[in-house]
Amino acid sequence: MEIASSEPTRLRVLVADDDPAVRELVVGVLNEFDAEIEVAADGGEGWSLFEEWRPDLVILDVDMPIVDGVEVCRRIRELDEDHEAFILLLTDHNHRETLETLLDAGGDEFISKPMTAEALRGRLIVSRRRIAQYAAQRRAKVELVDARRLSAIGETTLSLQHEINNPLSALLGNAELLLMEMREKGEKNDMLTVIHEQAMRIADVVRRLRQLKDPESVDYVGGTKIINFWKERAS
């Protein structure tokens, strides 16, 4: 049975359970979703696979040898700061205290054992939708940060243009007048020429600030980044 959905179907799923029958059931249902699957027989192996593979969905048995599912869940959340992995916990205990412990450890969803294929299938459909929702929220957050950054850059460039233009115009105007007078007299002043050239360079930077539409950062000395004003020139 193929599951139809608007979300991407090729989920990367890690299954960690020490019971071979449960692993077989979970993998069988996941195959209906065309999932890419890795399997672990205990919590230690599950944690190692997560570190190496970083799947979209982790299906964890709570009671496992080596490292139990709750501890694996905690470790995942410490490593996965952006909450990119969705964690579905399998538990034999469904009383309130246990479920609160699972949620506090960072679990997103749980299902009680023993479970049927149909019950697991329903949880996976819900999990896949929530994975897509979380991904959309992360994208929206990144886009909001980018929008704020661009807005701040725009405000900064306008302020710089305003603060620089008047003194720069006066500097350029006076330098050009002095150069004209010296040329008329047949004289030359290298220092004045340098002042005029550097003022023209500043004017070019201001012009590029005004034309900046889609700013990008480039690496600078010491690992810092600066805005690339010379994008047009480089292209």
The residue to which tokens 């309130």 are assigned: 96
If you average pLDDT over residues 43-70, what whole number do you get? 94
pLDDT at site 228: 65
**Average of pLDDT values for 1-22?**
73
Residue 182: its pLDDT value, please? 87
What pTM was computed for the model? 0.62
| Tokens, residue 102 | 């699972």
Q: How many angstroms separate the first and last alpha carbons of the chain?
A: 52
What pLDDT, on a 0 to 100 scale, did the predictor assign at position 15? Answer: 97
As a whole number of angstroms, the distance between CA 206 and CA 186 comes to: 32
d(C-alpha 42, C-alpha 17), whole Å: 6
User: What confidence tier does 119 reach under pLDDT thresholds 50, 70, 90?
Assistant: very high
Q: Is 26 exposed, middle or buried, given 0-12, 13-18 or 19+ CB atoms closer than 10 A?
A: buried
> Which pair of tokens denotes residue 51?
């570190």
pLDDT one-digit tens code per residue, 25-37: 999 999 999 899 9
